[in-house]
Amino acid sequence: MYDQEIQPKSNAFGITALVTGICSLLFAFCCSWLGVILALVAIIFGLLARKEKQNFDTAGIVLGCAGLVLSIVMIILNLKFLGPLVEDFLKELDLSSGLLFLKL
């Protein structure tokens, strides 16, 4: 009767959601596209953790949503402010020689 081993409850989904949510916030500033991917992974694992009634599910979902919003805002800001700078830089380069870029 008491010989059965009690298996500890796994928090793998919850911890994965928490870690990827934190990473999505960090990567939102330097690699926004990676922040979006990590945020979506955090939300998915947070929902799986909630279904399994694991710890850290809410933290993973909240951090994933925050990372997703921040990553999207950073992508928009990068396109808004860095796009014209890149265009001006490319116009200043003489691309007619074809040494820098291959034209297909």
Per-residue pLDDT tens digits for 40-83:
999 999 999 999 888 888 999 999 999 999 999 999 988 888 87
Reported pTM: 0.74
pLDDT at position 55 is: 86
Distance CA 40, CA 50 (A): 15
Residue 66 lies in a domain: yes
Angle of the 12-30 helix axis to the 32-51 helix axis, nearest 10:
160
DSSP E strands in the chain: the ranges are none
Residue 33 lies in a domain: yes
What's the number of domains the chain is made of? 1
Residue 4 lies in a domain: no
Q: What is the CA radius of gyration of the chain?
A: 22
